[in-house]
Structure 1
Amino acid sequence: MSKRRSSTPPSSMVSPIHSSMAFRYPIGARSATSRASRADRAEAMLYPRWSGVSRWSRSGVRRPALLLALIALVVGTLASGPRADARATPAPLAGLETSIPAQLVAGTTAVVDADGDCLRIRVAPGLAATQVACAEDGSTVTVLEGSVEADGYTWQQVRSDSAVGWAADMYLVPTAPEDPEPIAPVEPVEPVATEPEPVCDTRGTPPGLFGDLPAQGGSALVVWGGGTTAGIVHQAALRGVTLRSVWVLNDAGRWTSYIVGAPRFVNQRWYEHFPGGRIPSPTALFVIAEPPGTGPATGSIALPVTTANAPRHSGGPAPEVEAAAVIVVDAASGKVLHEHNARTRLPPASLTKIATALLAIDGSDLDAWVSADGDYGMLDADSSLMGLAAGDCFTVRDLLYGLMLWSGNDAALTIARHVAGSDAAFVSSMNAFVDRLGLADTHFVNPHGLHDAAQFSTAYDLALLARYAMTLPTFEAIAGEHSWTTSGSEIILMRTLNHFLSSYDDADGVKTGFTEEAGKTLVASATRDGRRVIAVLLNAPDRSSAAATLIEWAFTDHTWPR
């Protein structure tokens, strides 16, 4: 799947004129009431506004030296007598009446004065708007109704030949007024906001838990590379350490604790200190570990506790659907409402990406920049892709949407390498994670789900995985999103491939999958009246319709306690 790139090339986004110089930045702008002189404009062309060079110190020339040079130039000019050419310097007051800019009037014409360059005509006012034409220096344009300020420029709507658009008015010189030609009213156009170019800064603390952990029990000071407490506990478990609690110094200089495995209300102060439960990178933490053999098993992750009594079956039998394996589960209680071959090991295809997303959400800073390495040669030619190329730079959050909405196998590999350092290390972490969840019939050999005989799961295990995943607000938001636009090195508009989300009114997630060997797979979630039902279908030719049928049966043929 190809990615959709911005239609505006980078060089056309940075200047109202098309410069033949090596750099292309916005050059001297004027306010709404004053026009920059040609000298100011020349200086602005040579020295961009944000080049980091002081106005009074260009290339090391400081203000006193510049003033002395100007004085010498003036003295030399006076000594040589008046010049006869048309560019003689006017007396200080002689040109005062011409320093006030003439107004651009709709229905008149104006001449492009861009110092030999062409003037960009854009589809809307703003440096980010798409260029529709470039009016040659000295050419004439027709002034239309409409003037808007945006990005430090005043933009005038004009017609150049057959193109209609917006141009920076500081490069337009009004011609002598004639009888104005009638101009049709033009709808006002909102300014186009100019987003700053993203900075792909991949420096900083990488994902992970850094420091010596107390393998024999006790306490230690560590640094966390960003994520959640679940990610901290998982990283410790990978090193054979079971954490009892995690501590952080709050803004008042006091310790705030997170007790592992305790109900949320016990850890309320922790969540007040870290809204949403996300811990930024880097954060210094104090951890206390259990002595070996005295705490809960290193592998255990508590699945969501039962928050409601199980629903009672009050209607007919579950409808028959075509699928190799099926399960329907009440998310709150965990009760299985219907199953067929749910414990049979089958290839999960891209449902694998649910586990990949969970490890990234729990174990990394979602706003960290990641540079794609482009090493995706192991992917099939017809593989589903986000469209990453070597050097592309996106945040972890963007990559997660590419993983879940477009099922990008390249996004899966990029996430794996960022979070764990290598594909193999990430897969090892995936298997440790599902072991801790108690998913005994699940095994991974890659983070994307392309077929491998050694990669398998069951409808039952996938239902447990989804039940856990949908308790995490970040995962729930991504899994239920219909579209997402990236903000990285490329603008990519992604729309979900999960047809179930748009075909069933109460749908709110989660993931589809397909390979020739696995067939069509789906983990579906829907919530009605605050009650969530999860359905898993493996090798189901009509997966979306079948999931909707099963979930509707669950809602209508079961009674939930009030």
Structure 2
Amino acid sequence: MGDRRLLSAALSAALALAPVPVEAPSPAASVPCPYASIPTIPPTPASPERDPGAPVVGGERMGTAGLAVPDGAPAPPTLSAMSWVVADLDTGEVLGACAPHLRRRPASVQKLLLAATVLPKLSPDQVVEATDADLDLPADSSAVGMIPGGHYPVSTLWYGLLLESGNDTANALARTAGGDGGVPATVAAMNAEAHRLGADDTHAVTPSGLDAPEQFTSAYDLALIAREDFDRPEFLKYDTAPTFQWPAQPPKDPKGFQIQNENKLLTEYAGAIGGKTGFTDEARHTYVGAAQRNGRRLVVTVMGAEVVPARAWKQGTMLLDWGFARPAGSAVGRLVTPEEAAALHKPSPAAATAAPAVAASGDPAAKASSGRTGPALALGGAGVALLGGAAFVFVRARRRYRVSS
């Protein structure tokens, strides 16, 4: 309560100092997403403000902070997810979305970007020797149970990554794929792959999705990344295996053990073709899943969910049901192709001419105005930005974050 009173006073002071806009156009009100009532939502990092001058990837309706559904469509289900997208994997049609470009921590759905980046680079038969660094993880982190000095084929590591969400296998795959550059080289490659796909809300810091400052993605970006993965038969082979026998590593592990697929969509939803679960305290529950019915392949991405009204994968099934009931062609946006992303990233002649002038000016104000807008104030899961000269005020909740993923 003390933090809330402090926040209220700070907001009042900031608003009192802010200049009063004259004839400022009021933005169109966004339609709020159907949101389940939750008594307590743990605080999570504030989502960065997007650059208002940047193009909205996927179409103008994807720029909403609220709900985007086709005109006349029935309301989507009421969920606790802060953002979500339902899209057609083949046509790229976005059938519906809630705050699709809201940037949040990814948790273990980040492993889908690792797969999209590294799967084509590594031979499944290559044998990797586990190191202590691979297992340098928080005590409560999700891990398969690699043993330092153990030897594991790359194919085995993919099963550990996608079935058991092993952060140790994520580190081993990233280290191996990075060559002399190790894990940092692979993280850089992950960011390059996100950029190639048009996933401009995404910035990877860890290969596994364990929380890190400045690590974000969005529901829209996750759909782009998932589309890349689901078009690869080798990814589907690893991602949909119900179980896998983890190999023995004598003498410490003379028998090995069985691991199970954690994605309940595969056993509980007709037509399921794969997906990935995720959770950290900073991300909350995240989920990506896909299913096929009547020749249509739909993907659902869910971010910032609680276990109300159901677990994240179950909320995904509710969105998939809603999406499959929508007729083809009733889209509110689209998943861009890499070619379309490249065109978006290509600077206009005017921008290319103006950019050197700003960089050479040496004017700190000019340089600041060319970047993103300032950070937002986090309050109860929502961002409040006091712009137009108002001061930014921050109240940081002190808590210990659990980092399992």
TM range (shorter): 0.5 to 0.7
Provide the C-alpha distance between the structure 2 equivalents of 1:342 and 1:389, rounded to a whole number of angstroms.
Answer: 40
| Cα pair 2:284 2:303 within 8 Å, conserved | yes
CA displacement 1:110-145 (0-9 Å, x = unmatched) = xxxxxxxxxxxxxxxxxxxxxxxxxxxxxxxxxxxx
Q: Does 1:506 align with 2:266?
A: no
Q: Distance in 1 between matches of 2:188 and 2:326?
A: 42
**2:164 is matched with which residue?**
406
Report the residue type matching 2:183 in the other structure. Answer: D
- 1:218-367 correspondence to structure 2 within 5 Å: 316-367=74-125
Q: CA deviation at 1:411?
A: 0.2
Secondary structure of the equivalent of 1:328? strand
Tell me the secondary structure at the aligned position of residue 320 of structure 1. coil
Query: 1:202-217, aligned counterparts within 5 Å?
Result: none
Letter in 2 for 1:419: A
Could you list the runs of 4 or more consecutive aligned residues of structure 1 that deviate by over 6 angstroms after TM superposition?
A: none
- The letter of the residue matching 1:384 is S
2:196 aligned with 1:436, yes or no? Answer: yes
1:558: Cα distance to partner? 2.3
Instruction: Return the match for 2:146 from 384, 388, 393.
Output: 388
Shift of 1:503: 1.9
User: Is 1:475 the counterpart of 2:235 in the alignment?
Assistant: yes
Q: Which has the larger radius of gyration?
A: 1
Which residue does 1:113 correspond to in 2? none
8 Å contact 1:393–1:488 — kept in the other structure?
no
**How do 1:115-130 and structure 2 match up within 5 A?**
none
Give the partner amino acid of 2:196: R
**Any gaps of 5 or more consecutive residues in structure 1?**
1-302, 304-311
Kindly, what percent of the aligned residue pairs are identical?
Answer: 35
1:551 aligns with 2:320: yes
Alpha-carbon separation, structure 2, partners of 1:482 and 1:353:
18
Equivalent in the alignment of 2:41: none
The structural deviation recorded for 1:544 is: 1.7
1:77-113 CA-partner distances (Å, limit 9, x unpaired): xxxxxxxxxxxxxxxxxxxxxxxxxxxxxxxxxxxxx
The structural deviation recorded for 1:374 is 2.4
Structure 2, unmatched stretches of 5+, are 1-57, 59-69, 250-254, 331-405
- What letter matches 2:178 in structure 1? A
Following TM superposition, by how much is the alpha carbon of 1:468 offset from its aligned partner in structure 2, in angstroms?
Answer: 1.4
SS in 1 for 2:187: helix
- Please state if 1:519 is matched with 2:288: no
What is the DSSP-based 3-state SS (H/G/I as helix, E as strand, rest coil) of the residue aligned with 2:158?
Answer: helix
- Which structure 2 residues correspond to residues 132-147 of structure 1 after superposition, within 5 A? none
C-alpha distance in structure 2 between counterparts of 1:363 and 1:469, whole Å: 14
Contact 2:134-2:169 within 8 A present in 1 as well: no
The residue type paired with residue 555 of structure 1 is F
Structure with more strand by fraction? 1
Aligned equivalent of 2:244, options 468, 481, 484: 484
Distance 1:412 1:473, change over 3 A: same
Q: Deviations over 1:239-273 (max 9, x none)?
A: xxxxxxxxxxxxxxxxxxxxxxxxxxxxxxxxxxx
- Matched residue type, 1:474: E
Give, in angstroms, the shift of residue 434 of structure 1: 1.1
**1:404·1:478 contact (CA, 8 Å) conserved in 2?**
yes
Aligned mates of 2:175, 2:326 — CA distance in 1: 46
- Pick closer, same or farther for the CA change 1:377–1:555 going to 2, 3 Å: closer
Q: Could you say which structure has the higher helix fraction?
A: 2
Does structure 1 conserve the Cα–Cα contact (< 8 Å) formed by 2:85 and 2:100? Answer: yes
Q: Which has the higher contact order (CA 8 A, sep 6+)?
A: 2
SS in 2 for 1:520: strand
Amino acid at match of 2:190: M
1:401-440 Cα offsets, whole Å, 9 max, x none, are 1001100000000111111131111111111111111211
| TM-score, length basis structure 2 | 0.59
| Distance of 2:278 and 2:201 partners within structure 1 | 19
* Partner SS state of residue 204, structure 2: coil
Task: Indicate conservation of the 8 Å contact 2:219/2:303, yes or no.
Answer: yes
Give the secondary-structure state (helix, strand or coil) at the position aligned to 2:236. Answer: helix
Q: 1:337 to 1:418 in 2, by over 3 A?
A: same
Contact 1:394–1:488 (CA under 8 A) maintained in structure 2: no
Q: How far off its partner does 1:559 sit?
A: 4.5
User: Over aligned residues, Cα RMSD in angstroms?
Assistant: 2.2
Local SS of the residue matching 1:558? coil
Which residue does 1:452 correspond to in 2? 212
Structure 2: how far apart are the matches of 1:408 and 1:402? 6
How far does residue 358 in structure 1 lie from its aligned partner after superposition?
2.3
> Alignment partner for residue 221 of structure 2, among 448, 458, 461?
461
Instruction: Please say if residues 277 and 313 of structure 2, whose CA atoms lie closer than 8 Å, have aligned partners that are also in contact.
Output: no
Structure 1 position 359, deviation (Å)? 2.5
Report the CA distance shift for 1:448/1:362 in structure 2 as closer, same or farther (over 3 A).
same
Match of 2:293 among 490, 512, 528: 528
